[in-house]
A and B are shown apart, each in its own frame.
Chain A
Amino acid sequence: MNALVIDFALVWESLPAMLNGLWTTMLVTIIVLVLGLIFCIPLTLARMSSNRVFALPAAFFVMFFRGAPLLILLYLVYYGFGQIEALRDGPLWFIFGSAFACAVIGLTLNHLAFMVDVVRGSLEAVPAGLSEASNSLGIAPRDTFRYIQLPLAMRYGIKAYQNEVVMLTKGTAVISVITIIDLTAVANEVFERTYDPFTPMLTVAAFYWVLVNVMRLGFRRLESHLNRHHAAEDARRNEKPVKTIGSLLFHPSSWLKAKRSMLVARKEHAL
């Protein structure tokens, strides 16, 4: 038996199931991302608040859901919700009782805890002088936040956000343990049916790889769009040959390099 060969007939046969799994994985990821974006700003403001009534619970939230492994969180939500009688007898049980909702809740709690630090880090990176200046111009604090701090923080934080999104996408592989048929679950199913150790795992790995790299490319586009006013200066600063798409795709560290020079440029601008 040649051990390291992919059985393409099996790949073709299991393709529909895998595409279904991919759709589930993407759906969960997108829902969690949207929920994360909705809730991260109020939670971060609570965390940064000088009022302890808000700051302490938010700090505990972040500590617990950041520190606990995702697998345990999913078990906790999935097996734990059924134990809460108010929830089980309540009108919303059709939501909390489904495995899909449990996966979304578990992932969102974890994702939110990381998002708080991402948002906080980028908000703190906005030079204090800017908000002071806008204060002294008589701009209301709310408008200062919306029109000055938030747009800048988005530019500063996009790299960290990209890392978190990629981590979340890869983390969704775990939701197969609470009976959700995502990409990893499909691979396991095919393995258990055929006992082919390589074909399903490698095919699914390829799907994940493409998904993650499409996201990275998207973030790259978004970042160059957000930083478009620096484009001319950046080009002048690092007069290097333009990288081809191929080399970018294959080497994440080349992106890091690009990011770093951008970061340096950014710092100088801030000064």
Chain B
Amino acid sequence: MEISSAEFWGYVRQIGGGAVVTMQLFVAGFSLALALGTVIGIITLSRNVVIQAVWRVYSSIIMGVPSLLVIFLLYYGGSAILTGLFGMSRSIDVTPFGAGLTALTIVYAAYVAELLHGAVRNLPKGQFEACAALNLSAFRAWRHVILPQVARLAFPGLVNIWLIVLKDTPLVSLAGLNDLVANAKIAAGATNEPFVFFIAASLFFIVFSALTMPLAARIEVRFNRGLARVNT
């Protein structure tokens, strides 16, 4: 089927609007997962039995279950969960965006926390002993000594999670979010041109990740500047 260029650009504009939604969800999801995962990671370094048990169950479930299921669970059951948690009498509507954002945050926070554990384990013990010897408070030790080094060690893994979250974001369209993929699917169905629109949609993701790679490389160089060789 031939389509006029006006019609074509109309679809492109619609897909562009969807791309904005996808990017918002992705950036918000990744940032929240990073923040929550860091907090969870620090808390679960404790040897407290209860904390360890909760962490083990949480991480094991998250790492053994598809993220799509978590999205569905939070979307279908979200309002029931909220009512159950806060005991509100009126039901709250859960939007696909809200459910997707919560699901991405919960799932990838576990991966970030796991990454942080690995990085902390790779840190020389002397760093912690030095903090104790200098009588730094726990907050200051983490803020000024441990976390900056953890950030350096965990950064490559974080880039990996960044890419995985990017590729998981379109799954939220299956909960009804009107994002890039949903709009591409509408356009492909209406115009009978699946190749054009789906390849364009996948190129969007590929180009975006390709564009962030040089940025990641620069950040990594900056993190490693303390270990870089002297330029002679």
- Which residues does A use to contact B, with CB under 8 Å? 1-4, 63-64, 67-73, 75-76, 79-80, 83, 166, 170-174, 177, 184, 187-188, 191, 197-198, 201-202, 204-205, 208-209, 212-213, 249-253, 256-257
Contacts and interface: CB of A to CB of B under 8 A. Distances in A.
A188 B171 contact: no
B178 interface: no
A198 B171 contact: no
Contacts of B198: 72, 75-76, 79-80
A76 B202 CA distance: 9
Interface residues of B, number: 49
Contacts of A257: 121
Interface stretch (B80-88, B130-138, B224-232): B80-88
A145 to B, nearest CB: 29
In the A-B complex, list the 8 residue pairs whose CB atoms are closest, starting with the nearest. Answer: A197-B77, A68-B202, A67-B206, A173-B66, A3-B84, A79-B194, A197-B76, A209-B64
29 contacts: A1-B80, A2-B84, A63-B210, A67-B205, A67-B209, A69-B169, A69-B202, A71-B171, A72-B198, A72-B201, A72-B205, A75-B181, A75-B184, A75-B188, A76-B198, A79-B189, A83-B193, A83-B195, A173-B68, A187-B72, A188-B72, A191-B76, A202-B73, A209-B60, A209-B64, A209-B65, A213-B60, A250-B60, A256-B114
B69 interface: yes
Contacts of B121: 257
B72 A79 contact: no
B57 interface: yes
A211 B61 CA distance: 12
Interface class of chain B by DSSP: helix
Contacts of A205: 61, 65, 69, 73
Contact of B66 (A68, A184, A251): A184
Contacts of B168: 69
Interface string B48-73: 00000000110111011111110011
A29 to B, nearest CB: 12
Contacts of A166: 63
A232 to B, nearest CB: 25
Given A184-B66, A201-B76, A70 B56 contact: no
A80 B80 contact: no
A26 to B, nearest CB: 14
Nearest to B82: A3
A72 B182 CA distance: 10
Given A202-B73, A251-B60, A71 B181 contact: yes
Contacts of B205: 67-69, 72
Contacts of B56: 250-251
A143 to B, nearest CB: 36
B114 A252 contact: yes
A259 to B, nearest CB: 11
Contacts of B174: 71, 174, 177
Contacts of B69: 173, 184, 187, 201, 204-205, 208
Given A184-B68, A208-B65, 12 more contacts: A4-B80, A67-B205, A69-B170, A71-B171, A72-B202, A75-B184, A79-B189, A79-B194, A173-B66, A198-B80, A251-B60, A252-B63
Nearest to B163: A67
B93 to A, nearest CB: 14
Contacts of B77: 3, 197-198, 201
B66 A171 contact: yes
B173 A76 contact: no
Contacts of A253: 59, 114, 117-118
B185 interface: yes
B82 to A, nearest CB: 9
A209 B62 CA distance: 9
B167 interface: yes
B3 interface: no
A202 B166 CA distance: 25
A4 B78 CA distance: 11
